[in-house]
Amino acid sequence: MKKFLILCLATIIICTSCHKIEVRNFTGTYSYKTTGNVEISTDNVSLNHLLANEIGTMHILKNKSSDTYDVTIIMNEVGGRIYTAYGDINGNEISIATYERPLDLRLIPTIGGEVMVSCEGKGVLKDGVLVITQSYFTTKGNIDIVGKNITTVAEPNE
């Protein structure tokens, strides 16, 4: 029985240290670029809108073990906006929990400004480059705004 308990404890320690290594692989400062398009639709009209490229700095910070998520992601856009999201790490993949951010749609006459969208995504870290695919979604009155393939490519700053 004593050997069994020691074996269980050793297994738990090994598993938690592997997860810490996975998280550490993601932490750091990156330069990022986000691009994609959203579909804006009403009951009888649908329009595809190419988003302006967004560039900036992304910081991925390891959370304490008592936090709900493994990492905090802070995106500092060159235009001055800052977005914060949270994510979980599994191997070389990251899952980003739903977060809110403004989306500039001033060029669309029916909207004419910024709207708050909900975002979520998944990404993969390969050879130090993080590629994230996100979805944006919101409803403003009778207008639905959906972006299914918003891509962010983040390269580490050295």
Tell which wins on pLDDT, 106 or 75: 75
Mean pLDDT of the region 122-151: 92
pLDDT mean across residues, the chain: 84
Listed by start position, the domains of the chain span 2-156
pLDDT > 90? residue 118: yes
pTM for this entry: 0.80
DSSP state of 149: E
pLDDT > 80? residue 83: yes
CATH assignment, 2-156: 2.40.128
- What is the model's pLDDT at position 155? 96
CA distance 70 to 120: 16
